[in-house]
Structure formats: C-alpha cells, structure tokens
Structure 1
Amino acid sequence: MNDLETRLRATLAARAGDITTLPAALLDLDAAPADPVDHDEVLDLGAARAARRARSVRWLALAAAAAVVLLAVGVAQLGGRDRRSAPPPATQSTTPTPTPTPTPTPTAAGQAPASTVGLVVPAGWRATLRASEPGRRLVTLRAAADPDFPYGCNGCEAATDYASVFEAGAFHAHTDGWAAATVAGHPARLGRMSWIGVGKHVVRTLAWQFAPGRWAVVQGVTALGERTSTLELLAAALRPTVDVPIPVPFRFGFVPDLPLTSVTDDRSEGYSLTVTLSSAEGRTFDVTTWPHAPSTVTHTAAHRTVVGGQIGWYDRTAGVLDVPYRGGWLELGISESAGAPTYDSLPLTAQDRADMDRVVAGLTFTNGDGSAPYLPLEQAVP
C-alpha cells in the first residue's frame, strides 16, 4: 500500500467509519504531476460574499440556514442559499491530497463586472451558477455523468468544475513545477493549487494567461472534474474575452450611491439572482429575484403599495420591498452594519429610508409586468 492510499484510507475511515475498498475514481487522475512546493495565493471572494450576507438584517434567516450548511461542508462561497438539487449520491468524493492553509491575496479594487463570462457549454454538461465580484467572474459547471458532489460537500451544490476569469492584476498563479499545456493557442500550466474562494482543498487546476496580466483558471472539484481530459474540455469551452449580459426583469430609476460588489445568478437551477451594492462602511443595497414569494415583508394592508404597475408590499421602517412580477418575486432593501469582525446590524438612517423611497418610486418592470425579453443588468442599474 503506497503513502497516497494510506492517507486516503485514513481520510475515508474518519468520514465513513469503516472503509475496506478505495474508490477507484479517486486514483484516476491521469498521472497528475506532483504538488508544487509553493501553493498559490488566492482570492477569498466567497468569504467576502458570506460576510456581506451575514451582516444584512433582511437575510438573517437565510444566513442562519447557510451557516449550518457551511459548518457542515466547509464551503464559504456562493451566496449562502440552499442550492440542493439532488439527494447525496452513493459515492462521495474526498480530497485526494493534503490541504495546507492558503494565503489569500487582496481582492482587486473596483466594481464587480455587470456581465458574465462567455462559455460554449459542452454536450452532457450544464452551467449551474454564474457570479462576479471585483476582479473575478465565475461559472460553475456540472457533468450529467458525475455521481459525486464537490469535495467536502454532502449535496450542498451541483458542480463538477469551477471556471474563473480574472481582471488584470487580480490574480497570479505560481506554476513552477507544473506540467506544460496549451489552451486556445496560449501556453498553460497543469498542476495543483488551493480551491479558489474555498481554500480548504487542493485540487487539480489548469491555468493560463489569455491576455497580459489576465488569468483564466479551471479547477476540478470532484474526481471526474479533476481529470486532465475534463479540465482541457472546459478550458476549451471558456471564452474569457467575451462579456455576456446578465438579463434582469427590472429597471431602476435610482439606486443608492454604492459600487456594485457582487452578482450571483443560479436561476438556471430554479433558484435566484442576487445583485449587491455595498460600501466598506457597511451600507448594503440588495436586489434578489425569486421564483417564489420571499415573505420578508408582512403582507398587510398597511404595507400594500403599487410599484411599477404591480401590487407590492413595502415596509419603510425595515427598508424592505417585496413585489411580484410575471414569473417571480422581486425582493430588495437597504441595511446598515458594523465592520469586521462582527458585522452587527445597525439601525437604518433617515438617508436610508429616503433613498428607499426614491428606489420604490423609480422601479419599473420589463414590458410593464416583468416578462421577457429582459434588460441587461448594466442598463437596469444606473
């Protein structure tokens, strides 16, 4: 029994209690190169999103539920919403290498892109989530043939690989000792590094510079996702220089003067789109579309109002609006919080309520009722 199998058996025994057979899929890594001595410094973008969620009064229930999931699976990413799409499989992946603590690098300054990255989805795959934060655009992909969930994730999300595209200066991969590869005519490197935004696991990674100072990275987060053939397939499918609009059913005449800091879109999986504008001082304006009523506002006669031609419910004291449109519900609101490390909720100010009044007064829906075709996000948020 070699050292790798010994470590794997120990890991599996700790998780499953009694392991007698090592899953063959865990060793099918296409002769992976050895781990480099120097693991990459990575952006902890998911943790920033989780922090913003935790400090919003209106998301307390969601954040509490997310905290249970995160504690169980060790994934501080993807917006704190329950994205289960299937029961746990019979076979679960486990980390095929030791997991050293990553060293994060500063997040790039500026706004999050109001678009998603280009992708030609291969046959047998689907894009499950698209997201952006300052310096990074992300898409997760799921193979129909993948029996596993991501490492450390007992059914928490549907993903086989993560593909990230970085703005200039937002990321640099230390690829010394990695195997040489090629992606779309660009020199690439194949090796192992920390799972970007999660950090707990070291996974097989294909990284390349598609423009000076700009990196694209594909990471396998299941045994199938880590195969060289899978990484190469998805790298070839990625279009890192293509901006794809994010369609939305609303348009704002006014929003608070805050930078766009996060967009998370998993509507393709039957969940939600969340757009966040926030400041470092703790002021946050969130907009979320749901396929069902969020019930954040008590739907009483006192809260009933007409918004963009639709009947909605506006709780001015809490700074929250719920309004149905054709095909879903729109929830939006403003909040104040303290800084790190607590992110404690703070009372709304008179300016917050005045801004919310202007938001509600200027909100309209596509085609009058929120029906398709939708507007690009960059046109919907002034």
Structure 2
Amino acid sequence: MTSYVERSRAVLVLEDGRVFEGRSYGAVGTTSGEAVFSTGMTGYQETLTDPSYHQQVVVMTAPHVGNTGVNDEDAESRRIWVAGYVVRDPAIRPSNWRSVRTLEDDLREQGVVGICDIDTRALTRHLRERGAMRVGIFSGADAERRTRELVQDVQRSPEMAGSELASEVSTREAYVVPAVGSKKFTVAAVDLGIKAMTPQRMAERGIEVHVLPADVSFEAIRELEPDGVFFSNGPGDPSTAPQVDLLRDVLDARIPFFGICFGNQILGRALGFGTFKLKYGHRGINQPVMDRSTGKVEVTAHNHGFAVDAPLDGDVTAPADAEDGRSYGRVRVSHVCLNDDVVEGLECLDIPAFSVQYHPEAAAGPHDAAYLFDRFVDVLEGQRVKSESGAR
C-alpha cells in the first residue's frame, strides 16, 4: 500500500452553474445524480451501501474520510449504491484492526466516480442555501471539456422528484432471515431498499423475516400468514410508489404494520396525507427527534429527502376515509424533528400500524431508537392476544 495516489484533475458541476475544482477519488470518469450532504463523522460504509442513496451524489461534511478503511462485515447491502462521492481529505492509509482494504479500493472496483480536495464546507453551505440539486462529477478527459457543456449535461440528467427507484434496488427473489433462538413471530418485509441490519434487529427479537420484492402482491403476503408486515427504507419520490395500494390492503386486513423511512412516507400516503420534497433533506447520524409519547429526545440516523405532510398537533381522522370509503380511524404524529419540525413518525390509534422516518437499525449508530423494534414486538403480541381472545 502506498502513501501517495496519482490523481487526475476533476471538476464538480452543479445544475445552477457553480463549479468546484479538485482531484479524482475512486473511479475516473463521469457521473451525475442529486447532490446531498451527510453530516455523519463515521459510518461511511453504511452510507455507501444504503440503497436509499441510489442516484444521489453524497457530500461528506466530515473533513477526513476513509480513516477506518473497509471491512467485509459492515456492508448494508450487496453493493455501493451512491452515484458519486465527494470528500475533502481522503485518508492516506486506513488504521483499524478490522480493515481489509481501503475505501478508495472499493470505490474504484465498483466504478464509483468521486472527487476530493474540494471545499466541502462551501459546497454544503451552497446546498443548504439553494437546496439539493442535480450535480455532475467529471474526471480525466471529461474534466477538460468546456464548463458550459458540463452544466448542460447535468441539467439533462434525471431529477429526484417524480422518480420511482425502489424497484431498481429491491431484491429480485424472496429470502428468509431466521429468528435468533426460538421463533415467536413471522413478518413479511417488503424490500424497498432494505438494509441488512433491519431484518437482523427483528431476528434478534424472535422474528422470522421473509424479505420480499417490491412488486410483491397482497395475495403472496397473505399466503405467508404473517403476524405483521414491514415496509423498509428506500430511494425515490413516494408520490410514485405503487406500494401505497398494497399497504391499504394490509391495513384493511388489520395486519400489524411497521414502516421505516420510505415505509413511513408510504403509510402517510396510504392514510391520505400528502408528501413533499424537503429543501435539502436530513442525512447523517446526529439528528434530534422527540418521541412525543414519552417526551424523550433521541439522537437518530436519517436519510430522507421527502417528508409526510400531516398536522403536528392533535389526533386527526385519516383523510383516506373520505377518499374511497376505507376507514383507518384516528392518527397522530408520534415523532418530530427538533431542527425543523418535520414529521418523523406516525401512529394509528384505531388500527395496529405505526412508522418512523428515521433509522432505528442504525449501524454504526446511534442506537437511541432501537426500542422501536421492541415496540413492534409489543404490537404483534397485542394483536395475537386480541385474535386469540376473539377466537374463544
């Protein structure tokens, strides 16, 4: 391993015309996507392999990235999903007993184009002021093209709003994560971009998890006779998600439901609420969220650019009642972000369903919200007792 890497010239071009010059990092070439920033100081391997970052170019606000290298245990999915990677100072060499290769080795091997040696603080401030926008990274020969041409290339790339992406990252074949110890429950988990730690956290609580493709039918779910249904995190615009109708079938059947991130947005839409795109989103592992049922403030991991548009105060009747005659009863906002009052969780009061916008399965952390998996178990147990009482 050498301490010096020969790097070609690279440029980062935003759709509004702003340009940052730097050096190549990872693969050399061209990429484009939505520019977003992540405020985590660690856990970059989780970020890179989180399918929710599909078609996004991630800007790391931490100045030093790659210090702990990469291992074979911490990946959250089968590959790196980010469209591009932006860092200020890449580590010269990793220093961690679990490291088996450098971060740049992985980026290069998987063809992820990145850029380093740029002012990521200035870039982040620009995105905070102007909002998330399309971006291109050009290195090698492409970096020598005229700036006007590069800006036009970026402006022709797809926008995140209106994009349906969950089907592109979901598993093609169903698989099972067995319960750890004795099996207590069976859960059907719809993979919209699921992270490996999610079924693991459920398995640790005695749940056998059947991970299913994004296009699974309600009939296929019902054949499993699950005790509960779970919708995962994932990329894209929730207004395009076909899984809204699937979830309404689940809610109609009164099967207990738990959703995370994209799953929270789909629950919101299934209940009749709208969703909207945030100016620059929440991404990182230091976002403060209040659990309004306890008043406890959690430090949480986030990755979302869309949010549910629901009233923050009081219990409201789910608007879907008036839309098509379905009745889901009362719902409340259970969690809220303390930075900007964005809805971070929903709780149905008359049916067994709840969701959160953030990541209670977070690895490398924080773990303040891990109790939500216990809450899901409580819902499953409560529904089982209710069903057994009704049978008698």
Decide: shared fold, TM above 0.5: no
Normalised by the length of structure 2, the TM-score is: 0.28
TM-score by length of 1: 0.29
Higher relative contact order (CA 8 A, sep 6+): 1
